[in-house]
A and B are shown apart, each in its own frame.
Chain A
């Protein structure tokens, strides 16, 4: 069975602080994909990043960076110099490399509030 755990239910920071959102996953598959989605107050889910299980290189995109560590089954997301517009619910998700169907297993989500 697959599972994604986002242990931080809510995080509150002040603008310009750095913040890391944790994601730990469980799977028996050797090939899988990890995703992060952002859900701003408007409600839609916005795709942020996809990482496959064979690519452990960290990725940076502007103020966003992702640290994938297979040894600890973690795929953490860091926002540098946070801004009020970063306030949202962030979801980590796991997807199997499977021919059955492309089910995304989501974590519970982390509510990030960035105060001015």
Chain B
């Protein structure tokens, strides 16, 4: 059981380039989330999804897009990367939005934009 996996683990982009981060979970979870982690700021929610085909904005959505074409996958896209998007990105999933179900996190993707 792999849990939550993220691809790639590391990436360096130049300003203006685009890329897609892939998150996959094998726990049949309905809900998936993308966070970014920056020093001294904890984790902040970028976008989330409550089920296949649905997505919504979180706390810091600007500059990102997401898609949930399959229940097990949640993609995070950067159309035109900026240095301010240098961060560690975490994907998470949970069985239910009900608060009793904790979120399971992937290993993270370290992105540097030069």
The answer for the CA separation of A32 and B100 in the assembled complex, in Å, is 9
* Per-residue B-contact encoding for A88-116, CB less than 8 Å = 1, 0 else: 00010101111111111011110000000
Interface set, chain A 65-106, CB cutoff 8 A to B: 91, 93, 95-104, 106
Q: In the A-B complex, list the 4 residue pairs whose CB atoms are closest, starting with the nearest.
A: A106-B42, A102-B97, A45-B105, A33-B99
Are A91 and B43 closer than 8 Å at their CB atoms?
yes
6 pairs, A vs B, C-beta closer than 8 Å: A9-B40, A44-B107, A44-B108, A52-B99, A103-B58, A109-B42
Contacts of B43 in A (CB 8 A): 45, 91, 104, 106
Q: How large is the interface on A (under 10, 10 to 19, 20 to 34, 35 or more residues)?
A: 20 to 34
Q: Which of A31, A35, A52, A108 contacts B40 (CB 8 A)?
A: A108
* Per-residue A-contact encoding for B76-114, CB less than 8 Å = 1, 0 else: 000000000000101010101111111111111010000
Q: A43-B88, A44-B108, A101-B56 are in contact. Are A33 and B100 (CB under 8 A)?
A: yes
Are B44 and A106 closer than 8 Å at their CB atoms?
yes
